[in-house]
Amino acid sequence: MKICFPVESDKGLESEVYGHFGSAPVFVIVDTETQAIDTITNGNQHHAHGMCNPLKALNDKPVDAIVVGGIGAGAINKLNTQGIKVYRAFMGSVDTNLTYFKNGSMPQLTLDQACGGHGEGCSH
């Protein structure tokens, strides 16, 4: 399984999970089967609010799940349509969140928990 973690800077498994998917500068992708780590730059970081294209942000790299502090409803819909599940990150590193994910204790994000706009305040 390939899990994507939006982060502010690439420090591998020690990278802190970023608070919002669309504006994250970098994504760390961990393959849970091979333990391989891939890093990509957000290809859609500077988009208009509400216009996030998550597949463009991921440079069309295939992933099975996203673990993030917050994300907009449009991005959740687009990801879910592609079969990609979105989970709420806990504070901490990619490694810490990977442990929660593997233990099955990470909550899946729903549209009700999506960010409502940074000017109005996010739910994260």
* CATH code (residue 35): 3.30.420.130
Predicted pLDDT at 58: 81
Output the pTM of the full model. 0.84
Closest CA to 21 of 35, 65, 32: 65
Residue 25 in domain = yes
Residue 84: inside a domain, yes or no?
yes
Confirm whether 40 is domain-assigned: yes
**96 is a domain residue:** yes
Confirm whether 119 is domain-assigned: no
Residue 27 included in any domain = yes
| Residues spanned by the domain of 91 | 2-113
- For 33-61, the pLDDT digits (tens) are 999 999 998 876 654 555 555 676 788 88
Look at the chain and report how many structural domains it folds into: 1
Other CB atoms within 10 A of residue 76 CB: 24
Q: What is the pLDDT of residues 60-112, one digit of tens each?
A: 889 999 999 888 888 888 899 999 999 999 999 999 999 999 999 999 987 66
- Give the per-residue pLDDT at 97: 97
Q: Judge whether 34 lies within some domain.
A: yes
Q: Collapsing DSSP states into helix, strand and coil, what is residue 66?
A: strand
What's the rounded Cα separation, in Å, for the pair 53 and 81?
Answer: 13
Give the pLDDT band (50/70/90) at residue 20: confident
Q: Is 68 in contact with 15 (CB distance < 8 Å)?
A: no
Q: Is residue 99 part of a domain?
A: yes
Please give the Cα distance from 123 to 114 (Å, whole number). Answer: 7
